[in-house]
Each structure stands twice: as structure tokens, then as C-alpha cells.
């Protein structure tokens, strides 16, 4: 019978917080997908050993404070304009690994033009897109990606296509553009899904090194506060309702 | 046959008690502690430490990266 003290020795360590993450306590709600994806970005940058070459562009939304948590260089863009700012940075510093980190309210709504044209130009950047079908920071309003019938603060009777239009599958739209080299949709709800998402983010950063064009990684995530659920229920709801509309997997890989 | 014994160390004060590690654990080792930390969250802890196999599933899904996982092989 071995004691816990015998097991918890440095030589037995198999998983720990990546040093790329700072010691600041994240402001995200308990169970938020942002925390997992921040960690994955940090682990990928650590594994590729590009801490001093990675430049992130944070959006407006919950993840606006991402620069407090990942110990790399950051810029913060106006609402939706992260791909435009990333374009400027990557053209001035073509040897750097430039990525944007955006939510669905930021990328799919107000920043729709910027992401379309950045992908159309094939800028050598990575775009990480967190799709939780809601505006989380401002109190759970309807986003372009909100599902039909989904109750939000601004659609209290559910999203009605006659009044509010249809959900936007932005990742499929971007896959049609010639500038994108890698377009994928992942999730981060189970250990297996987290591993796959990490591989996708890693591949996206490697594409930057190969100068292949824009890599777009969508992560279907939860907003348990906005959805008014517990974190575990939110993951179940996401699997049952969001995955049929937003199927996981690689959409384009050239 | 070599068997693996695992253990986790949770940063109690940083844990927000979301419970994602509880459902991710394949051997039902982790539960939320009845006690609360300084922020009032029921933090994760090893309720059944003998069953831990050190698979790191809890660490992978933890949004706040508060779980360190240890794993050692033991001869049965």
C-alpha cells in the first residue's frame, strides 16, 4: 500500500499547469471553456518553444483579459478587429507566430468583415474561435451562432428565424475561401476532445511556420452562466444541441 | 504485472468547484469537498485516492489548471 506522499514526488509528475500560464486567478466563471483553451494555447506554445515569438491579439468579450493569463506578447484590438490588427503585426513581423483569440460575438457578428477578408487574403495567422452560441460577457444576448429556439436574454421565447434569422456556420463559410489552409471545428468537453483540440491548435501554429495561409480553429464551447446551467449540464446540453448543428472535425486541410 | 498508482494535487484556493474533473475521472476518484475554500467554492479532492491511476483526465479538462497529476508504477 503506497501513500500519497510517496506518489506525489517530482519524478512522478505526469501533468502540471504549463509555465506559460501566469499565476493570476482567471476571472472566468467556474467551468468556462476559455480556461481550457487558454491552457491548450499555452501548452502548444511551450511545446513548440516559441514563447518569445508568439504574439496574440485578444478580442472584446470575456477573453479580452487573456493577456493577464498567458505569458507572451499581446495586443488588444477593437471589437471584431483582431484579424485586422493581426494582419498588421504579421506583415511587419513575418517571422513571428501571430494568432487571434476571438469569441463568436466578436468574430461572427461585428468582426464578420474583418475575418472574411483576412481569410480571403490568406494572412499567415492563426485564428482561434470560441463558439458558445451567446454573448457571454454582456449578459447572454443572442449571437449570430445562437441555435434556433435557444432562449437568450434578447430572445426570451427562443430564436425565431422569421424575426432573428438563422444560425451562422461561419467555419464552413471560411472553408470556402482560398486563403485558408486549415479549417477545423473541435470541442473541449472531454479529455479526448481536449487532446484533439490541442493537436488542432498545434497544427495551426505549425502551418504558420510553413507560411501556408490562415489557419482557423473553432472550439465549440459552453457558457454555463449565460445558458443558466451547471458546468456539467452545459457540457451535456452542448453535446445534444450544438454538435448536430456544428459537427466536429476537419473541414479543410491542405 | 506492473500496475500504476496515481495521485492528484489540487490547488485548493484556486479551484472554482466546477465539477468537470468529477465527471471526467474514469475511476470515480474525485468529488467536491464538503468544505469550502477562501472564495466559498467546494474544491475538488481525492475522495477515493486508492483508485487513482494517474490518467490525467482531470487535469486535461480543468479550466483553471489547478490539478497536478502524479503517476508511479508499482509491482503487484
Domains of chain B: 2-75 (3.30.70.20)
**Number of domains comprising chain A:** 1
Tell me, what CATH number does A54's domain have? Answer: 3.40.50.970
Most A CBs within 10 Å: which of B9, B11, B64, as the mutation test of the A interface?
Answer: B64
Q: pLDDT digit string (tens) for A147-172?
A: 999 999 999 999 999 999 999 999 99
Mean per-residue pLDDT of chain A? 92
Q: Is residue A87 part of a domain?
A: yes
| CA nearest to A36, candidates B34, B12, B10, B67 | B67
Å between B11 CA and nearest CA of chain A: 11
Q: Given a cut of 90, is residue A38 above it in pLDDT?
A: yes
CB atoms within 10 A of CB A110: 16
Cell of A51: 514563447
Crossing angle between the packed helical segments A82-92 and A112-121, to the nearest 10 degrees:
30
Q: pLDDT digit string (tens) for A115-153?
A: 999 999 999 999 999 999 999 899 889 999 999 999 999
- State the ipTM, two decimals: 0.91
Give me the total of CB pairs closer than 8 Å, taking one residue from chain A and one from chain B.
Answer: 100
Q: Given a cut of 70, is residue A79 above it in pLDDT?
A: yes
What is the DSSP code string of A10-35? GGGEEE---TTB-SSPP-SPTT-HHH
| DSSP conformational letter for A62 | G
Q: Is residue A195 part of a domain?
A: yes
B60: which chain A residues are within 8 Å (Cβ-Cβ)? 15, 191, 194-195
Output the CA–CA distances (angstroms, integers) from residue A150 to A59, A61, A142, A242, in the order listed.
Answer: 25, 20, 9, 10
What is the DSSP code string of B6-49? EEEEE-TTT-----HHHHH-TT--EEE-SS--TTS---EEESSG
Return the percentage of chain A with pLDDT > 70, whole number: 99
Q: Given a cut of 90, is residue A30 above it in pLDDT?
A: yes
Range of A159's domain? 28-253
Beta-carbon separation of B14 and A194 below 8 A: no
Q: Is residue A130 part of a domain?
A: yes
Q: What is the pLDDT of residue B2?
A: 59
Q: Is residue A21 part of a domain?
A: no
Q: Given a cut of 90, is residue A194 above it in pLDDT?
A: yes
Amino acid at each position: 500500500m503506497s501513500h500519497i506522499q510517496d506518489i506525489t514526488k517530482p519524478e512522478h509528475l505526469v501533468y502540471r499547469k504549463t509555465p506559460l500560464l501566469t499565476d493570476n486567478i482567471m476571472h472566468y466563471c467556474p467551468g468556462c471553456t476559455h480556461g481550457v483553451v487558454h491552457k491548450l494555447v499555452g501548452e502548444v506554445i511551450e511545446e513548440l518553444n516559441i514563447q518569445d515569438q508568439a504574439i496574440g491579439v485578444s478580442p472584446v468579450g470575456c477573453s479580452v483579459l487573456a493577456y493577464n493569463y498567458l505569458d507572451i506578447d499581446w495586443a488588444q484590438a477593437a471589437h471584431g478587429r483582431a484579424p485586422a490588427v493581426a494582419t498588421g503585426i504579421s506583415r511587419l513581423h513575418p517571422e513571428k507566430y501571430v494568432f487571434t483569440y476571438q469569441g463568436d460575438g466578436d468574430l461572427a457578428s461585428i468582426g464578420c468583415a474583418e475575418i472574411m477578408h483576412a481569410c480571403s487574403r490568406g494572412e499567415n495567422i492563426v485564428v482561434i474561435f470560441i463558439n458558445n452560441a451567446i454573448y457571454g460577457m454582456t449578459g447572454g444576448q443572442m449571437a449570430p451562432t445562437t441555435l434556433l429556439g435557444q432562449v437568450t436574454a434578447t430572445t426570451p421565447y427562443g430564436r425565431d428565424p422569421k424575426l432573428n434569422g438563422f444560425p451562422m456556420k461561419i467555419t464552413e463559410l471560411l472553408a470556402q475561401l482560398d486563403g485558408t489552409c486549415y479549417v477545423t471545428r473541435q470541442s473541449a468537453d472531454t479529455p479526448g476532445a481536449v487532446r484533439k483540440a490541442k493537436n488542432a491548435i498545434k497544427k495551426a501554429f505549425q502551418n504558420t511556420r510553413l507560411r501556408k495561409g490562415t489557419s482557423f480553429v473553432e472550439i465549440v464551447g459552453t457558457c454555463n452562466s449565460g445558458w443558466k446551467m451547471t458546468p456539467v449540464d452545459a457540457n451535456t446540453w452542448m453535446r445534444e444541441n450544438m454538435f448536430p448543428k456544428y459537427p466536429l472535425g476537419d473541414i479543410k486541410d491542405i | 504485472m506492473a500496475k500504476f498508482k496515481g495521485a492528484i494535487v489540487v490547488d485548493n484556493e484556486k479551484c472554482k468547484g466546477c465539477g468537470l474533473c468529477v465527471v471526467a475521472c474514469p475511476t470515480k476518484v474525485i468529488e467536491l469537498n464538503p468544505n469550502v475554500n477562501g472564495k466559498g467554492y467546494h474544491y475538488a479532492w481525492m475522495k477515493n485516492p486508492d483508485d487513482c491511476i494517474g490518467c490525467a483526465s482531470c487535469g486535461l479538462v480543468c479550466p483553471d489548471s489547478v490539478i497536478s497529476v502524479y503517476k508511479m508504477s508499482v509491482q503487484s
